Amino acid sequence: MIKKNIKNILVFSITIILVACSGVKNKSQQESTTVTKGKSSRPNILFVLCDDLGYADVGFNGSKDIITPSLDQLANSGTVLTSAYVTHAFCGPSRAGLLTGRYPHSFGSQFNLPKNSEVTVGEGIPLSEKFMSKMLQESGYYTGAVGKWHLGAVPGYHPNDRGFDDFYGFLGGGHEYFPSEFIAKYEKQVANGVKNIWDYLTPLEHNGKEVRETEYITDALSREAIRFVNDASKKEQPFFLYVSYNAPHTPLQAKEEDMKVFDNIKDKDRRTYAGMVYAVDRGVGEIVDALKATNQYENTLIVFLSDNGGRPDKGADNSPLKGRKGDTWEGGFRVPMFFHWPNQVKAGNRYNHPVSALDFYPTFAGLAGVTLPEGNKLDGKDIWNDFSSGKTARNGGMIFSMRHRNGFSDVSVRQDDWKATKAYKFGWKLYNITNDIGEEKDLSSQNPEKLKMLVNAAEAWSKTHTEPRWFDPENLREVWKDKEMAKFKETFNINK
């Protein structure tokens, strides 16, 4: 009798467990994460992002005066993506698009969060958007972010709330680089009773707690990335590390020893800028050394890029591209990029097909073994198989860019070899961007139907946009309303 009861209890218990597991599986499918796999079966992902780095300001992309030996070594033993785009031509929206896998215009983040956004806005990227970091965290990755955030500085929008187990850095859109200088300025304002202190001067933080940093900021961020790599090596799970350098974004502040490397550069801004890029290069080399020392290098995918184009007025060089940060010309949102992963990414290779930062989310999900939910709203695609075989992953697909100015909007759309651009109140122009990377020869008169098709596609895309949740600068709010900019009255008129 006792044995029979025990048998019944066991059968009942197993049934309950099976039902529970079935329920968990269904919930998992709905929420987009799969069952966690072992550490060795999935790659670590090291994502290195620079801020306002010019297209031609790294050796692997043709720099003639700035040397980047560590980045070049990785790029040359990996694959350089020569036709890589981000989702916007300046910082905040570009990062929002990268981490959500969606165009920022679709959820009201077309503008940078304004300075001191915790006071002026009190929110960040909508909580309805699941960040890439959250997706990877839920699938079992140990996740870290180091450096610039610029996506929300209040509870709920903080990096630790958006899928990052560990965060060291600053929440605003930039920061000064020398602690001896910015701490003194900060403490002076505190002593004077200033309540709303510019966030370029505020203390850095680690997981919500203020820290008193003592190193040059770029070096400090590299140090913290190394700490994370060392911590990750002790865990039985893969890692995702988002290293978001603020260099070489202004203010132009470099260490003297780094600037001395570039004594041949006579222009002071360019020399300072070069020193800032060199500090990033040195840091990336040290992070790679840490990966090797902890036996994680062979199974780590390293992705490097800039968040948008550089500013020639602040030392950058976007050659041979036309335009600069903020533009819908190539110089605004086409960026240097490479992938590196020993024995997985082809060495010494160049991938010339167009890709978008929107593609990272679904591509990383695929590498992590995550099944995204049916009907997901991601705007990119998993490019891994096509990238690995050297084929285009976006045959016929569109890559859009839009930047709102004072009363009008700049737009561009690329499809395969063709790109249509409207910028600075100039009319629409059409380029074969494969043959004419500098956007010099307008082919619209020879190909009117191609231009019309691309402009119509951009107009259809614009109908998916929502009203901006904030404006930067704030005075654009009234311009937006008065000019009825959301209606795009003249934007898609080919004859204007």
Q: Please tell me whether residue 6 adopts helix, strand or coil conformation.
A: helix
pLDDT value, residue 26: 35
Q: Please tell me whether residue 33 adopts helix, strand or coil conformation.
A: coil
pLDDT value, residue 39: 60
> Which phi-psi region, left, alpha or beta, contains residue 101 (left: φ > 0; alpha: ψ -120 to 50)?
left
**Element at 223 (helix H, strand E):** helix 217-232
pLDDT value, residue 40: 60
Structural domains of the chain, ranges and CATH numbers in brackets: 42-389 (3.40.720.10), 398-487 (3.30.1120.10)
Distance, in Å, from the CA atom of 206 to the CA atom of 187, rounded to the nearest integer, reads 20
Q: Are 140 and 28 in contact (CB under 8 A)?
A: no
Query: Which runs of E-coded beta strand occur in 99-175?
Result: 142-148, 166-170
pLDDT value, residue 495: 85
Q: Are 239 and 299 in contact (CB under 8 A)?
A: no
Residues marked active site are found at 91, 150
**Element at 306 (helix H, strand E):** strand 300-306
- Please tell me the pTM assigned to this model: 0.92
DSSP assignment, residue 388? H
Per-residue tokens: 101? 């896998």
DSSP assignment, residue 46? E
Distance, in Å, from the CA atom of 370 to the CA atom of 325, rounded to the nearest integer, reads 34
Q: What residues of the chain score a pLDDT lower than 50?
A: 1-37
**Element at 130 (helix H, strand E):** none
Q: Are 248 and 315 in contact (CB under 8 A)?
A: yes
Q: What is the residue-wise DSSP string for 418-437?
A: EEEEE-TTPPPEEEETTT-T
pLDDT 10s digits, 25-53? 333 333 444 444 456 689 999 999 999 99
pLDDT value, residue 375: 80
pLDDT 10s digits, 276-319? 999 999 999 999 999 999 999 999 999 999 999 999 999 999 99
